[in-house]
Amino acid sequence: MITFGASAALAHTPSRPEAFSVGLRSAEHSSGAVIELRASASGTVTLAASTFIMGSDVAEVFLAAQQCQREPWGQLGDEDDRFCAPKRLATEIGTHNVTLSAFTIDRTEVTVLAFDRCVGAGICNPPGFRRGDPRFDRPNFPVTMVSWSDAVDFCRWVGGALPTEAQWEYAARGIEQRRYPWGNIWNGSLANHGSLADDPTDASDGYVWLAPVGSFAEGATPTGIQDLAGNVEEWVQDRMDIDLAIYKRSNTTIVLPYLQAAATNPIATTGLGRRLRGGSFMRAAHQLRATARFASLDTTRSEDTGFRCVYGSVTPIEASNTKLTTPLPAQDE
């Protein structure tokens, strides 16, 4: 566990006066004075080293497109580029074997309360939502409106890192190649999802916007990892490779398909932005599949984007954290 001394000079004001100290372990002098505070990790799940199949084949993409076409806007869009055209899902094409070392991952997405502790310690920037906003600022909600570097700061503070895209997909899909974290059949009551419609939110799952983390326990993976489908999209380490021709023509980010080569502990280190996984409360069913991929610029702070961390044998984050006053020790490989 990495230890940081509390510093009033560096600390931001958390959203609630008690947010920085609640749930933290203290080390005390014999006099009882607190000399340091440590971030305590949330529940985690350890996954053994394994090889799994990453990505989708063409048949899976066409099934996803058919599922998309059943949405209210499923038949809309330009004639040559409908919203549910299979080519819009081409980014996930390219099944390939990926071998991963063992790693440990957060059971749920990082909460507002947990992130507030990092803000109070002066390590993390405050999230972008208005304090007190009931749509976002609740202790047990996943923290949102955080950039990629905000997520990096937090994970480093708790001694971890953002998952690589491969780690995230393995956690959600397993060696069984599940279509969703819970299995192969879509069930709208097992995730906080949205809809491809004029109003992208969907209250049929019990929540119009965000849900407290862990609200869909029956939608967990067989290993007990929750919220890998819906609620918030999640930042991962990897950079995104986009089709530059399309981007320059229409300012639309179309992520390129996989290279389809076998790999061990892969991470994409070139590209214009970062990848996102898991879908959100504003995404339709086909976008909550374990192989669905999204992309955004590093600096984006979205109302439906959050993150979780991994620990142990992880690929080091390539970006440096300039907020830390002392360098972090090297992570075990």
Q: What is the 3-state secondary structure (H, E, C) of 285-317?
A: HHHHCCCCCEEECCCCCCCCEECCCEEECCCCC
Q: Tens of pLDDT along 292-304?
A: 999 898 999 999 9
Q: Tens of pLDDT along 87-144?
A: 888 889 889 999 999 999 999 999 999 999 999 999 999 999 999 999 999 999 999 9
pLDDT classification of 41: cutoffs 50, 70, 90? very low
Tokens of 133: 């906003």
C-alpha 234/C-alpha 6 separation (Å) is: 29
Query: What's the whole-number average pLDDT of the chain?
Result: 81
pLDDT attached to residue 254: 57
Nearest to 213 by CA among 149, 281, 116, 290: 281
pLDDT, mean of residues 215-238: 97
The percent of residues in the chain predicted with pLDDT above 90, rounded, is 62
pLDDT attached to residue 284: 95
Tokens of 169: 């997909």
pLDDT classification of 247: cutoffs 50, 70, 90? low
Q: CA–CA distance from 73 to each of 94, 197, 227, 286 (Å)?
A: 27, 5, 25, 13
Domains of the chain, CATH where assigned: 25-312 (3.90.1580.10)
Q: Tens of pLDDT along 265-285?
A: 999 887 778 999 999 999 999
**Are the CB atoms for 68 and 52 separated by under 8 Å?**
no
**Are the CB atoms for 130 and 158 separated by under 8 Å?**
no
**Are the CB atoms for 288 and 279 separated by under 8 Å?**
yes
Q: What is the largest CA-CA distance in the chain?
A: 74
- Give the pTM: 0.80
Determine the 3-state secondary structure of 86 from DSSP. helix
Nearest to 190 by CA among 202, 200, 180, 179: 180
The percent of residues in the chain predicted with pLDDT above 70, rounded, is 74
